[in-house]
Amino acid sequence: MDIEDKYFKNISSRERAIFEGAITMGALFHQFVGTPVNSKSAETLEKSIKEAMELQPCIEEVQVKINRKMLEDANSEFNYVSLNGDMMDIKVVSRYNNKKAVLRMEYIDKLMYPLMYVEEADE
């Protein structure tokens, strides 16, 4: 079966890059939020998230930075916290054919919300 022809010919390459990047952004957030994490385990968790999410269709690169200062500030006496969206800065680079999209999630103080948006997308 030609998947591309059957399911994806109604959107452009740029739209496909945005579509696949956005799926991965939503997936990443909801898969890993809640994971126990502290300063020692953060680097391995970042690497694991990156490797997992780069497997998804059309994903070229995923960068995840877990805010070390927030890890320490949020620290309970149990010496770890549950990962939440406020602690993460994420970049997802997706590509379909020759069109690349860069998607981003970052916590916006004024919104009190981890906002996902398209940082750039090839015309």
Pick from 53, 48, 42, 39: which is nearest to 91 by CA?
53
Minimum Å distance from CB 89 to its own copies?
15
| 2 near its own copies, judged by CB under 8 A | no
Binding mask 44-73 for its own copies (x = CB under 8 A): xx-xxx-xxx-xxx----------------
| 14 near its own copies, judged by CB under 8 A | yes
Minimum Å distance from CB 79 to its own copies?
7
Structure tokens at 120: 């750039």
Minimum Å distance from CB 106 to its own copies?
10
Task: Return residues touching its own copies (CB under 8 A).
Answer: 1, 3, 7-8, 10-11, 14-15, 18-31, 33-38, 40-41, 44-45, 47-49, 51-53, 55-57, 76-80, 82, 84-85, 108, 110-113, 115-118, 120-121
